[in-house]
Amino acid sequence: MIYVKLFLEFLWVGAFTFGGGYGSIPLIRDVVLRNNWLTDETFSYMIAVSESTPGPVMVNLATYVGSSQGGLLGAVLATTAAVLPAFAIILLLMAVLKNAMKNPAVKATLGGMQPCAVGIILATGIWMTVKNWFPAGTVDLRAVVIALVLGGIILWGKKLFKKKVSALQLILISAVLGILLYGF
Amino acid sequence: MLLELFLTFAKIGLFTFGGGYAMIAVVEDTCVGQKKWITHEEMMELIVLAESTPGPIAINCATYVGYKEKGVWGAIAATVGMVLPSLAIIYAISMFLNRFLEIGIIANAFRGIKVGVGVIIINAGVKLLKDVPKQGLPRVILLCALAAMLLINVFALDFSTVWLLVTAGVAGFAAYRVKGGAGK
């Protein structure tokens, strides 16, 4: 049953999302690819949409995947499941386990998971970039150019524009580059 | 009061782009400055909690403030308020995104965006690097997770990302136990 499946999958996602919203991207990608719910391509479009609309990225992705698989009910179930662990853990820590976060064993366990989450996020980003350079065994130089331009803007944008470039602005720039390089 | 919590967080959810850290400033401004629901010290405690527990920081904030103000029902009202705007917006978008992508120029824009998303995720991961303690174990975990995740992607291995995180947590805990025996 799709509704139960959606709920359980996103419960796991919610429980293991570390490192803010970006921590959820590798986990949700894993879920949608394993279940054949979305292609990698549609999923990366959805990340862009999630970045360009208000609200946490994890919530936006959960809603989209839920809606694509089970309509409105699917969207509500996936989103609720994704949020539930964060909600329950904060309540538990505030109401019952007030000192749990100071417990050295808990700290050590979380201390192991945090760098792991960062490694997973980096690897996912690298893979999602490089994969586009070699579509179906060929080399797409235009994708390489787009990645290099964006990388340059991230590295030197602060000096160039005297302001940090936001994710939303990077998406807009890559959209313009896409139109320029792949044609109107 | 419950309604006020709900509406306040719905407003925060509706006007916060990029989630996570952009949101902290808005919550601080609204809940500490204007509404005086929590103190500045509580806000600091909340940030530490939100960063070390799973789930988006936005959700953690809503649950925390809601609970402080009005117990479990307050937590529910604030969290639902935070999630609802994104859910509604993404659900609406999900209904026409596919038709939208059939337009040629949009499809080309998204070919650029697809590359941009990868770069943005790398950028997010690089920013998180500074939170990783400069010690042996976290660094080893980070590199192992990065390598493992790349291998999983390149060879399309059937290995859940959650298990990587669990393994890292166990490693953190085990290292603590080994050291703890000598320390105390």
Query: Which pLDDT belongs to residue B180?
Result: 72
Query: B108 lies in a domain?
Result: no
For chain A, the average pLDDT equals 87
Residue with tokens 């050295």: A104
Which chain B residues in 14-33 lie under 8 Å from chain A, judged by CB atoms? Answer: 14-21, 23
Instruction: Give me the domain span that covers residue B180.
Output: 132-184
**Hey, is A54 helix, strand or coil?**
strand
Q: Name the residue with higher pLDDT: B71 or A21.
A: B71
pLDDT digits (tens, 9 = 90+) for A42-80: 888 888 888 778 888 889 999 999 999 999 999 999 999
Residues facing residue A54 across a β-bridge:
B17
* CB pair distance less than 8 Å for A54 and B17: yes
Q: Name the residue with higher pLDDT: B52 or A77.
A: A77
For chain B, the average pLDDT equals 84
Q: How far is residue A93's CA from residue B125's CA, in Å, rounded to a whole number?
A: 27
> Where a domain ends, among B80, B99, B118?
B99
Q: At what angle do helices A141-161 and B104-129 cross, to 10 degrees?
A: 60
Query: B79 lies in a domain?
Result: yes
pLDDT tier, B21 (very low <50, low <70, confident <90, very high otherwise): low
Residues B74 and B158 in one domain: no
pLDDT digits (tens, 9 = 90+) for B79-101: 999 999 989 988 988 888 878 87
Query: B124 lies in a domain?
Result: no
Q: How far is residue A118's CA from residue B125's CA, in Å, rounded to a whole number?
A: 6
Question: Region A110-124: what's the mean pLDDT?
Answer: 86
CB under 8 Å to B98, separation ≥6 — which residues? none
Is some CB atom of chain A closer than 8 A to the CB atom of B101? yes
Q: State the total domains in chain B.
A: 2
pLDDT tier, B182 (very low <50, low <70, confident <90, very high otherwise): very low
Residues B15 and B94 in one domain: yes
* Sign (positive or negative) of CA dihedral A89, B80, B160, A57: negative
Residues B82 and B139 in one domain: no
Query: Which pLDDT belongs to residue B166?
Result: 87
Query: Which pLDDT belongs to residue A23?
Result: 82
Which chain B residues in 73-92 lie under 8 Å from chain A, judged by CB atoms? Answer: 75, 79, 82-83, 85-87, 89-91
pLDDT tier, B105 (very low <50, low <70, confident <90, very high otherwise): confident
pLDDT tier, B20 (very low <50, low <70, confident <90, very high otherwise): low
Question: Region A137-151: what's the mean pLDDT?
Answer: 88
Backbone φ and ψ for B155, nearest 5 degrees, come out as: -100, 10
Q: How far is residue A75's CA from residue A59's CA, in Å, rounded to a whole number?
A: 10
> CA geometry: angle at B55 spanning B52 and B58, to 5°?
95
Q: Which residues of B touch A111 (CB under 8 A)?
A: 133, 138, 172
Residues B82 and B140 in one domain: no
pLDDT tier, B19 (very low <50, low <70, confident <90, very high otherwise): low
Residue with tokens 């394993």: A34
Written as six digits, the tokens of B39 are: 């103190």
Q: For residue A94, give the nearest of B3, B21, B61, B6 by alpha carbon.
A: B61
Report whether A51 contacts A120 (CB < 8 A): no
Above 60 in pLDDT, residue B181? no
Query: Which pLDDT belongs to residue B120?
Result: 84
Give the pTM: 0.80
Q: What is the DSSP letter of B37?
A: -
Above 70 in pLDDT, residue B57? yes
Q: For residue A151, give the nearest of B6, B33, B116 by alpha carbon.
A: B116
Mutating which of A27, A120, A180 best tests the B interface, going by the most B Cβ atoms within 10 A?
A: A120
Q: How far is residue A11's CA from residue A7's CA, in Å, rounded to a whole number?
A: 6
In chain A, where the domains are located: 2-101
